[in-house]
Structure 1
Amino acid sequence: MNKWVLVPFIIIISFLTACQSADPIDLRDTPPTGIPKSNPSVGIDAKDSAPPNEDQSSFIEDEQEQDPIIQQLEQMTLKQKIGQLFVVGFDGLVPNDQIKTLIQNHHVGGIILFSRNIETSKQLIQLTNDLKQLNQSNQVPLFISVDEEGGRVSRLPSNATKFPSNLFIGGKDNPLLTHDIGLVIGKELAAHGINMDYAPVFDIFSNPQNTVIGDRAYGTTPEIVKEHGTAFMFGLQKSNVIPVVKHFPGHGDTIVDSHIGLPVVYKTVEQLKELELQPFQEAIQEGADVVMAAHIQYPNLDGSGRPASLSKILITELLRNEMDFQGVVITDDMEMGAIKKHYRAGEAAVYAVQAGMDLLLYSHQYDLQLEAIQSIEVAVEAGEISLHQLNEGVERILRLKEKYRINDAPLSEAGLEVVGSEEHQAVRDQLID
């Protein structure tokens, strides 16, 4: 039977099984699903099966050839592939010439918006529609992303539903409510044309002197952070907004603000496993799509002096191989002081990709964005970054966009009715009761 024919039956069976379960409500409900990664061994016991015969080999080849993501990847030029690695920012309430060049000439994979880009809901939806229009000549749609954690990290216009800090929310000890908060924020982001959110925060507020995280964390223990972080993540997924789990491997026990300088944590991997890594491992097991790596140096894990975001030991060996994360990994902003004071933009970009990063976030300066893009091009052509590794990263990006059905279709202002609605305000009001 064709594998696509099975999908509706699998979904129905899974739903009925969940309804019959005596377990608590599954906050995940039905998160987005997309085209699965090609896996010729599905339905075959690899231990007992004989090598495929000629007919089976032909079938496998046909299946791989029919994978639309692989087909799309094979049709892309080197420049288009490299562009997909970049999420970039710009100044202004409307697209400027620089962002037009980055989209149309360099084929960047995504945009990050800040308060400098956002004024009102109508202005914001016009901006996201304009960005999508600029990308019409490209075959891959844009990530349009923002930091909307709630609390003091909020970018949406003033009419959007506003929530208190994560620490306050975690203190309410109501994961169902945290899930609904994620759902509300996700719906309001989606209404504005935003499809990726740099949230939830999976850091543990374990150091009282830590001001950069502080009340952005859900709590002071792994258990609280795991419970509420995953609940918020499920809410975003249900609203068809991509959650980005951050800041791996944990920003909760730092004093230095990585926006300004390079924090150093002297813990061993065993110590990290006892605390910081637990929420991230939970997020991975519960289906996290994207993990953001922090600009934190771990001398006892990587003697090179490179922060986690540029460390192959932390990204490829620990996050991917040991913790088994198969999704997309994105850097924190590569223009933060932790990187900018120690590395040139292009140098840091190459180190990040070599470490195993898929997406590089350059949110401000046009000259640094161009330097980073050009440095990756040179590194690939020189063999410092293999084409195989580049293809693997781009494939993960394409599959994520397909999973969430990301597209460049313009949105109507009619959808803004949900923003700050009574229904959404009622969710917020539950925090006060």
Structure 2
Amino acid sequence: MKNYGKCMVLAFVMIFTLAGCSKVDTMQETRQQTFDEQVDAVVESMTLPEKVGQLVMIGIHGTELNDDSRYMLNQYHIGGVLLFDRNLQSAEQTTRLTAELQGEAQKVPLLIGLDEEGGTVVRGKSFITPPPSAQSLGTAGDNTQAEAWARRTGEQLAKLGFNVNFAPVADVGDSSRDFSRDPQVVKKFVAAAAQGYESAHMIYTLKHFPGIGKGQVDSHIDRSNIIATKQQLAEEDLLPFKEIISQHDTEDFMVLMSHLIYPEIDASNPASLSPEIQTKLLRQEMGFNGVIITDDLEMGAVSKYGDFRQLGVQAVLAGADIVLVCHEYPHETDVYLGLLEAAEKGTISQERLNESVKRIVRMKLLRGNSPR
């Protein structure tokens, strides 16, 4: 995995040369740079609007690159795209679309993702073999099947041009999306799935931190509280996340933040907007130094309680690296413009902005070029 990524880094940095340098000079300089220096050089070559664009992942409309989606990607320097069934018709069309999207990438690859969990949450069923639900895999008790399905799914998605899957679900609960109500079982199956995605060179996404298995309200509709003590969360809900964070390279996966409120940690803010949960718990206490991404900001749990120009800023100030806005172009535009204004005014400092951009660029250069 590491060797594959480093080879792709060299190839990609050679393609996207820095302004003012000849190709020969840049290639010679790249060979002498450490990987961290390569990341720094890419980030330093970005304008402020380009940096802000890396913090936003959007949904688009249509089954091909059109004027609207091209405008969003180029005007706002968007760093990632999440596709849905509305974008997918066939393997050939999807492969063409992801290639067209990637052709609009500026300096680093786009993150192009899909929600292919299995069970009820699958996309492109006519040409992507749908995995079994997490619950059915967990009930069967054979975690090697979780690994095998993750590898198979990752390989299918990579051939179609995706480099991110928004799976596996690491929640401890009894829905069809959860492996089990037993945290030890969930830990084992999530670790197996992680191994499968890594074998397929597919960035995966642990969700929904710090766990929504105890939730009673669908966060697509509204926000609610998770009633659990810090000890309960630590011994149950956080266990699968801890396992992957401690045992796997952080460039291999993202952690997606839930929109629920955990009163024992932060009684005022949902996890996606909480410094206590993102920066203090996940970053400082659990030691995660990879990419944090929010759940979709258009979900009722947050969109009912804030303005899109402010929600993205709140999320980044809380610790998020990427904000996800999946459906409406005006909302996506507002999130980007809100972040840009905050960066220009210093509400989001240059240091804070660069921290996120470096994490994102590092992941993209190491893992963003999935083989087809």
User: After alignment, is 91-100 or 396-405 more displaced?
Assistant: 91-100
Name the residue aligned to 1:142.
110
Task: Report SS of the residue matched to 2:81.
Answer: strand
Cα pair 1:31 1:234 within 8 Å, conserved: no
- Whole-angstrom CA distance in 2 between matches of 1:198 and 1:300: 27
Q: Secondary structure at 1:275's aligned position in 2? A: helix
Secondary structure, aligned partner of 1:259: coil
* Runs of 4+ that moved beyond 6 A: 62-66
Distance 1:156 1:282 in 2: 31
Aligned AA for 2:188?
E
* Partner residue in 2 for 1:295: 259
Letter aligned with residue 157 of structure 2: L
* Cα 1:121–1:64 shift into 2, 3 Å: closer
Which residue of structure 1 lines up, in the alignment, with residue 282 of structure 2? 319
Which of the residues 28, 37, 40 maps onto 1:70?
A: 40
> TM-score, with normalisation over the residues of structure 1?
0.76
Mapped contact 1:111–1:145 kept (Cα < 8 A): yes
Moved more, 92-101 or 314-323: 92-101
Matching residue within 115, 119, 127 for 1:151: 119
Once the 2 structures are TM-superposed, how far is the Cα of residue 106 of structure 1 from its aligned partner?
1.2
Structure 2 CA distance for aligned equivalents of residues 66 and 178 of structure 1 = 34
Cα distance 1:230–1:156, how it changes in 2: closer, same or farther (>3 A)? farther
Which residue does the alignment assign to 1:237? 198
* Number of the residue aligned with 1:353: 316
Equivalent residue number for residue 133 of structure 1 = 103
Structure 1 31/247 Cα, relative in aligned 2: closer, same or farther at 3 Å?
farther
Amino acid at match of 2:177: R
2:235 is the alignment partner of 1:271? no
Distance 1:187 1:34, change over 3 A: closer
Q: What is the DSSP-based 3-state SS (H/G/I as helix, E as strand, rest coil) of the residue aligned with 2:347?
A: coil
Aligned residue type for 1:316: T
Given that 2:115 and 2:166 are in contact with CA atoms closer than 8 Å, whether structure 1 keeps it comes out as yes
- Aligned match for 1:401, one of 352, 364, 368: 364
* CA contact 2:109–2:365 (8 Å) conserved in 1: no
Look up the match of 1:98. Answer: 68
Measure, in 1, the Cα distance between the counterparts of 2:65 and 2:352: 32
Quick check: 157-166 or 386-395, which moved more?
Answer: 157-166
Matched, 1:381 2:319: no
State which structure, 1 or 2, has the greater radius of gyration over its C-alpha atoms. Answer: 1
Q: SS state of the match for residue 255, structure 2? A: strand
Post-superposition Cα deviations, 1:310-353, rounded to whole Å, max 9, x if no partner, equal: 00000000000000001100000111011111111111101000
Distance 1:177 1:270 in 2: 31
| Distance 1:32-1:178 versus aligned 2 partners, 3 A rule | farther
Query: What are the superposed Cα offsets for residues 61-101 of structure 1, whole Å, 9 maximum, x if unpaired?
Result: x9779811111111110000000001100122122322111
Give CA deviations for 1:339-385 in whole Å, capped at 9, x if unaligned: 11111111110100000100110001111111111111111122211
In structure 1, give the amino acid aligned to 2:365.
E
Q: Secondary structure at the match of 1:360?
A: strand
- Spell out the pairing of 1:45-60 with structure 2 (5 A cutoff): none
Give the partner amino acid of 1:141: P
> Is the 8 Å Cα contact of residues 56 and 322 (structure 2) preserved in structure 1?
yes
**Contact 1:31–1:238, Cα closer than 8 Å, also in 2:** no
| Distance in structure 2 (CA, Å) of the matches to 1:292 and 1:65 | 26
Aligned mates of 2:276, 2:130 — CA distance in 1: 39
* CA RMSD, 1 decimal: 1.9
Q: Tell me which of 67, 78, 93 is aligned to 1:123.
A: 93
Can you give the 5+ residue segments of structure 2 that lack an aligned partner in the other structure?
Answer: 8-31
- The answer to whether the 8 A contact 1:31-1:240 is kept is no
Calculate percent identity across the aligned residue pairs.
37
List per-residue Cα deviations over 1:22-68 (Å, max 9, x = no partner): xxxxxxxx5676459xxxxxxxxxxxxxxxxxxxxxxxxx9779811
The answer (yes or no) to whether the contact 1:204–1:217 under 8 Å persists in 2 is yes
Query: 1:142–1:406: 8 Å Cα contact kept in structure 2?
Result: no
Quick one: distance in 1 between partners of 2:201 and 2:184? 26
Q: Which residue of 1 aligns with 2:241?
A: 280
Which secondary structure does the structure 2 equivalent of 1:266 belong to? coil
SS at 1:262's partner residue? coil
Structure 1 equivalent of residue 150 of structure 2: 182
TM-score normalized by the length of structure 2: 0.89
Residues 342 and 66 (structure 1), Cα distance of their counterparts in 2 relative to 1, 3 Å cut: closer
Q: C-alpha displacement at 1:266, in angstroms?
A: 2.8
Query: Which runs of 5 or more residues in structure 1 are unaligned?
Result: 1-29, 37-61, 209-213, 416-433
Using the alignment, how far apart are the partners of 2:225 and 2:35 within structure 1? 47
Matched residue pairs, number?
345
C-alpha deviation, 1:130, in angstroms? 1.5
Structure 2: how far apart are the matches of 1:126 and 1:398? 24
Cα distance between partner residues in 1 of 2:350 and 2:220: 32
